Structure 1
């Protein structure tokens, strides 16, 4: 008989969902995107869009998952039987499979850098641009570390919800926050750090452009891990007595706090040593090592930082793999161990061309993009906004309004007016915002 897994506590769900959301979005993508889009103005827009647009969609995914109590595909089959809506769930599951196949490549880089830092290869005077180039171009090294990253992910997820994912996040998420605070304090005490704080927190309105707004809106969706069914899956393990709105609020603010801490670790240090904040994706791999090497005990602090990034990267990977596993085992936990090893191995194999996209397959292009860039584009530019759009429509327009308000509000102590506001934001604001991001990403506006 199938047995449904569940979280052992509310805090376990919050830490796991926050871990899914935080990942590379907050620690890697937010700093370099903010750095290339004016800093404080981007951060302010990101904050507004996270609260007003991304959070309502995240709560909609929570509603679908908890109300159905099923995986991403069966959730839509339960709530909208004999319709095409389960294809939204299938799209999310497929997206997680593909997303993890190339996300694990970046996760492998992070683990590789953590090893470099711990063994002393990252030291003052090293050519960090050359080191990063060699790291991502060496086929055997990149596949080895991608394999290590997937092995760690499979090892945790095969343990299940409470014994695997929840237990890992109980240790990793608090450790992440503590390490971040330590690094932020160190960065803020550097001479000249105030310029970096000003860059992050004092808006320069000359950067207030449609492009910055739409980029911030896209980052808000990416940062809360919506549009790939992970939040539907995690919420399916919740009991009806849990407060979805307070949980969603906690997860959102934890994500914003980590984004802020990432900025306070990186930008004061970058400005203190005369580097440019607009370095792009190589910021944590090329610029930050050079910055840390100028700080007393910099080698140790950089090793700590990369360990922290590895933690955050893994917590996101857990949610992606769990979304696929949940759909594969359909509540029968006896199948979990074997299916996790099988699917984890398949994801690794599918990820091999992405891993080699910066080396031996660098010249192999599909529609003008490497395999890595193509998958990234398909997931983040197409599937995430499309899925988020249809989730918003499904909950706000297809489902009966009164039943949505009742089911979403079950176990909640927030005022009913707040729940009605959420549904109205989901009805009128979120779909328009998602369409704008979609059109902007495709270059239509």
Structure 2
């Protein structure tokens, strides 16, 4: 059976960037920037994105494009006989399942808030307690949360059941175009609010006092962390799109485009959030409370807040759903490749698996709220810890070593695949950096994650 490919280059870039653009871009990035000295952090983040994120992204794409297979079979196709690199492919799939066990729930929250704002659940002038109460009521209701999660899962698999070109590429193109328009409209609106200037300067002007207070070393490691995790590397989420790519364009050029699009969304998210928060005297924080408590409080006090809130949560729904679709595609492709299964059958089986596997995260806020797992974390945070602190950095290190050492695919094979096609190319002079310095940088992230 001939492997499907992307219909267009734009489709590949938008689908891949859609996978990278997720909730972390919005609920983590702006807060981490503000916490770590503003503009200086952004510059360090961009530096690490290009010296760490982009190379590892090309490696994951190269393994996909060089093998034309999904996670496990990609390694089996490229590894030397008798070696065991393909075991990592199984961990990649485990990572995709665990990621979807909580990401579908959070994506459901976004969808629920989009409908709540559109339906006028947040009237103008609503009290702060009442705004916070909406989120609390959502969390304590297992039926409501499971309902929104199920809608997300079913929609995601329905799109993927249509195949790469007619399903995920077609829908991603529309969603990403709308997302980019929405983010520009929201950022312009935020920038025109009274007091927006203070928010923008807090966000983007380097604050050396803040850097001294936090410690320069901590700012550097925070920038490394953010630049690396923003691209969702290490669990074959990007590898699968490499396997659908043509050979017309070199991988470094495509990796830079994906990274720039991802960064654009992250930086613009801050230009929406900080001016709005400063304008209404609200302290921006990180995580769910920023999105579901802080920002709705800003919207209910804003002229036309119902419209702005609806548009913001439409943007957030698209940002999270693009990741859901991309990871579902990876899971389905794995079943089709590995077990020779028809796509529709793989969709039905995995739809059921993810629906059931996502329930512990839903119940972790209500029925099982006393359940504390890794280091006293709740269900969602424990699942996130496994993916973000273990599987992503360790997986990235394995992809790196597979591509640059003689025990794996080998540096020359990787470089040949990487530089095939028109566009930006990596030079051979990078070999010592890829073999000795980059592994150490990623190892630092692994150790940090464990600590």
Question: If the TM-score is normalised by the length of the shorter chain, which range does it land in?
Answer: over 0.9
1:408 aligned partner:
418
Task: Specify every segment of 5 or more residues in structure 1 that has no aligned partner in the other structure, as ranges.
Answer: none
Structure 1 residue 62 displacement after superposition: 0.8
Structure 1 residue 331 displacement after superposition: 7.8
**What is the CA–CA distance in structure 1 between the aligned matches of 2:146 and 2:423, rounded to whole Å?**
49
Q: Check if 1:241 corresponds to 2:245.
A: no
**What is the CA–CA distance in structure 2 between the aligned matches of 1:245 and 1:217, rounded to whole Å?**
19
Structure 1 residue 424 displacement after superposition: 4.7
Task: Specify every segment of 5 or more residues in structure 2 that has no aligned partner in the other structure, as ranges.
Answer: none
CA offsets per residue over residues 353-378 of structure 1, 9 Å max, x none? 11111112110122422222211111
Most deviating of 209-218 and 57-66 = 209-218
Contact between 1:3 and 1:332, CA under 8 Å: does it hold in 2?
Answer: no
Change in 2 beyond 3 A, CA 1:408/1:288: same
Q: How many residues align?
A: 440
**What is the CA–CA distance in structure 2 between the aligned matches of 1:429 and 1:53, rounded to whole Å?**
10
Most deviating of 288-297 and 101-110 = 288-297
Instruction: Show the 5 A alignment for 1:78-117.
Output: 78-80=77-79, 81-117=81-117
Contact between 1:98 and 1:347, CA under 8 Å: does it hold in 2?
Answer: no
**What is the CA–CA distance in structure 2 between the aligned matches of 1:267 and 1:361, rounded to whole Å?**
35
**What is the CA–CA distance in structure 1 between the aligned matches of 2:287 and 2:21, rounded to whole Å?**
19
Q: Check if 1:431 corresponds to 2:434.
A: no
Most deviating of 163-172 and 319-328 = 319-328
Contact between 1:29 and 1:281, CA under 8 Å: does it hold in 2?
Answer: no
Change in 2 beyond 3 A, CA 1:109/1:139: same
Structure 1 residue 391 displacement after superposition: 0.8
**What is the CA–CA distance in structure 2 between the aligned matches of 1:278 and 1:36, rounded to whole Å?**
9
1:43 aligned partner:
42
Match of 2:324 among 317, 336, 341: 317
Q: Check if 1:371 corresponds to 2:384.
A: no
Q: Check if 1:29 corresponds to 2:28.
A: yes
Structure 1 residue 332 displacement after superposition: 8.5
**What is the CA–CA distance in structure 1 between the aligned matches of 2:385 and 2:244, rounded to whole Å?**
30
Q: Check if 1:202 corresponds to 2:205.
A: yes
Match of 1:133 among 121, 136, 159: 136
Match of 2:300 among 293, 299, 306: 293
1:52 aligned partner:
51
Match of 1:143 among 138, 141, 146: 146
Structure 1 residue 402 displacement after superposition: 2.6
Structure 1 residue 379 displacement after superposition: 0.8
**What is the CA–CA distance in structure 1 between the aligned matches of 2:342 and 2:267, rounded to whole Å?**
40
Instruction: Show the 5 A alignment for 1:391-402.
Output: 391-398=399-406, 399-402=409-412
Structure 1 residue 425 displacement after superposition: 4.1
Instruction: Show the 5 A alignment for 1:273-352.
Output: 273-330=280-337, 335-352=342-359
**What is the CA–CA distance in structure 2 between the aligned matches of 1:149 and 1:50, rounded to whole Å?**
30
Structure 1 residue 256 displacement after superposition: 0.8
Match of 1:181 among 180, 184, 197: 184
Change in 2 beyond 3 A, CA 1:165/1:331: farther
Structure 1 residue 45 displacement after superposition: 2.4
Structure 1 residue 284 displacement after superposition: 1.3
CA offsets per residue over residues 283-334 of structure 1, 9 Å max, x none? 1111111112222211101101101110111110111111111111108887
Structure 1 residue 422 displacement after superposition: 5.5
Change in 2 beyond 3 A, CA 1:346/1:268: same
1:6 aligned partner:
5
Most deviating of 29-38 and 261-270 = 29-38
| Structure-1-length-normalised TM-score | 0.95
Change in 2 beyond 3 A, CA 1:145/1:397: same
Change in 2 beyond 3 A, CA 1:269/1:374: same
CA offsets per residue over residues 393-435 of structure 1, 9 Å max, x none? 11112333333222211113325xx343655543233212211
Q: Check if 1:420 corresponds to 2:428.
A: yes
**What is the CA–CA distance in structure 2 between the aligned matches of 1:425 and 1:298, rounded to whole Å?**
50
1:170 aligned partner:
173
1:250 aligned partner:
257
**What is the CA–CA distance in structure 1 between the aligned matches of 2:192 and 2:177, rounded to whole Å?**
23
2:449 aligned partner:
441
